[in-house]
Amino acid sequence: MPDNKKCKIVIFGAFGAGKTTLIKTLDPGSSHVEANCAGGTTTVALDYGRVQVNENHIHIFGTPGQERFEFAREIIGRGMDGAILLVDATCPIDDFIHHIYDSLSAAGIPFVIFLNRCDSVGARPELIQKEFNTAVIAKVSALDRNQSLDALCAFVQTLPPHRNGH
Ligand SMILES: Nc1nc2c(ncn2[C@@H]2O[C@H](COP(=O)(O)OP(=O)(O)OP(=O)(O)O)[C@@H](O)[C@H]2O)c(=O)[nH]1
Ligand SMILES: [Mg+2]
């Protein structure tokens, strides 16, 4: 990524996959619009955080994972330079994840799949990876800042020039 540039990255993924956690880890000063739900919180609007790497500003938006918030995902995604599809590596892939994958592919948005919760005993990233054998994939734990930051930076550096700066 060239110096002195900014880019918009949007994180998509299923309910509870770890999108908000990833943004909190990347930017401890990030902002979140959440509601209480059974045993925790759920995003009901969006997350926003910012990461600066050298002179480059990466603006990161998190989307709600509940299916009824499709309209919010559509709004938050406008003008994005790249996307992260965050997948819980402890659960099987479902139709919702395929829907996001297909939508990003059809729109020609550069995206990477982060296989999350790789710190958990039940994680099976290799099994999930097989379902997306044509996509760029990183194994992460959204609780681990170095891992998450490295994966984010590696992805942003792959963005074509017209998408990694304005
Ligand atoms: N062990 C482990 N727990 C995680 C990880 N990522 C997220 N979690 C936990 O998973 C729960 C849900 O995470 P969230 O970040 O709220 O998930 P979300 O994708 O934003 O969920 P929605 O906003 O409802 O779509 C929280 O209790 C997190 O602490 C991870 O990599 N490892
Ligand atoms: Mg969330």
Considering every ligand atom shown, identify the ligand nearest to the alpha carbon of residue 19 and give its number. Answer: 1
pLDDT at 166: 53
Domains observed in the chain: 6-163 (3.40.50.300)
Ligand 1, residues 20, 31, 119: which to mutate, most atoms within 8 A of Cβ? 20
- Quote the ligand 1 centre to 18 CA distance (angstroms): 3
Residues with CB under 5 A from ligand 2 (ion): 19-20, 43
Q: Going by CA atoms, what residue is nearest to atom 32 of ligand 1?
A: 117
Edge-first strand listing for the sheet containing 111-116: 31-37, 40-53, 56-62, 6-13, 82-88, 111-116, 136-139
Selection from 119, 132, 19 nearest residue 69 by Cα: 19
* Helix ranges restricted to H, 61-108: 70-76, 95-107
CB 48 within 8 A of CB 59: yes
pTM above 0.85, yes or no: yes
Q: Going by CA atoms, what residue is nearest to atom 9 of ligand 1?
A: 18
pLDDT at 54: 82
**Cα Dmax for the chain:** 44
Considering every ligand atom shown, identify the ligand nearest to the alpha carbon of residue 16 and give its number. Answer: 1
| Per-residue confidence in pLDDT tens, the chain, 166 aa | 544 589 999 999 999 999 999 999 999 999 999 999 998 999 999 999 999 988 889 999 999 999 999 999 999 999 999 999 999 999 999 999 999 999 999 999 999 999 999 999 999 999 999 998 778 999 999 999 999 999 999 999 999 876 555 5
